[in-house]
Amino acid sequence: MPGHEFYKQALPEVQHLGVVSFLTGGIGIDEARAMRGERMKYPLAMTFVQRYGESSQFLAHILVEISRDDGSPVLCATSEGPYLFADLPAGRYHVSATTDGGRVIERNVEVTAGGHVDLTLVWPASAGAH
């Protein structure tokens, strides 16, 4: 793929919290393209979107908390862009994502060995939004 190395250079650094590696970012065209190229390498890939009537906008600065099915915490991080990809072991997880305005979306996901879950979290337009 022409330009592949250029986009690799645009990738943010992989971060680590305990045993979980994760990648977050996607601000700007080059970084977003580079992130999308890495998406399938992570068992859980999240995208954060805000609805505004008929249109939508990517969100950043989302507080993401992931816990195991038994409630034990796995990852607590703030997205640096509209994407957060986590290298999670197989298992069932509870995901809680909070905007900087305090609006929360929660989902349960199951990650299988060698599998991949794409999770797009969409906040509906708030009352009074135009």
- Within 8 A by CB and 6+ apart from 118, the residues are 39, 45, 47
Question: Over pLDDT 70: what percentage of the chain?
Answer: 91
| Distance in angstroms (rounded) separating the CA atoms of residues 118 and 109 | 10
| Distance in angstroms (rounded) separating the CA atoms of residues 119 and 33 | 18
Pick 20 or 10 by higher pLDDT: 20
Question: Over pLDDT 90: what percentage of the chain?
Answer: 81
| Distance in angstroms (rounded) separating the CA atoms of residues 1 and 15 | 26
Tell me the residue ranges of DSSP E strands in the chain. Answer: 15-17, 20-25, 44-52, 55-58, 63-68, 73-78, 83-87, 91-98, 104-111, 117-123
| Distance in angstroms (rounded) separating the CA atoms of residues 127 and 108 | 26
Of 3-17, 35-49, 84-98, 106-120, which gets the smallest average pLDDT? 3-17
